[in-house]
Chains A and B, each alone.
Chain A
């Protein structure tokens, strides 16, 4: 079974508008972490935001916020005030467990975001 599901292969958003990227996850661990990464056409993976399973508040980093709904096992990324430079592939990823060996990330298939001027 897929650990991370991103159901939106591609999205278009108008410049200055907000966009929500969906991510659902599957784990039986109580302790886990959720990450969002951005991959522009250059190919490098850029960390955006992190949410721990025990964090009570939704994570925010500048224009990025994570809408964490634990009961629904969803961790949607919201990008506010979209900019042309936000055009990229976005990946949701999960780390399961708490120990130092619980390190590897499982990635979703990604969502391509295209920002229109």
Chain B
């Protein structure tokens, strides 16, 4: 079956512009996660969706970041007024459930470059 897919694979944007990153999780996976991977900060958790529960946004670095998940499937991470420090690889992952030993399956990531 298909894995987690993300689009675009690469995005170059000018400082101050808004960007949207898309994630399609594995079909049937109820949990969806966003992480950010940057040289300075390593891998950081951003946000988590589990079924119909309210998302955990505790990892979002500022109010310029937001995410939604429509119909319990596709998710969009939006960064408003991008800054150069937002440059990173944004990874999406999904799992069957949110807890336990269920492994998270990661997508290929979106490399965001803010110029």
Contact = CB atoms under 8 A, between A and B. Distances in A.
Interface of A: 33, 35, 37, 42-47, 50, 52, 91, 93, 95, 97-110
A83 to B, nearest CB: 22
B43 A91 contact: yes
B93 A45 contact: yes
A99 B31 CA distance: 13
Report whether over half of chain A's contact residues are helix, strand or loop; otherwise say mixed: loop
A102 B95 CA distance: 13
A95 B102 CA distance: 10
Nearest to B95: A103
Nearest to B31: A103
Contacts of B50: 100-101, 103
Q: Which 5 A-B pairs have the closest CB atoms?
A: A45-B106, A107-B43, A103-B98, A100-B99, A104-B45
Contacts, number: 69
B42 A109 contact: yes
Contact of B99 (A50, A93, A101): A101
B42 A103 contact: no
A46 to B, nearest CB: 8
A102 B42 contact: no
B107 interface: yes
B56 interface: yes
B1 interface: no
Interface in B15-43: 31, 33, 35, 42-43
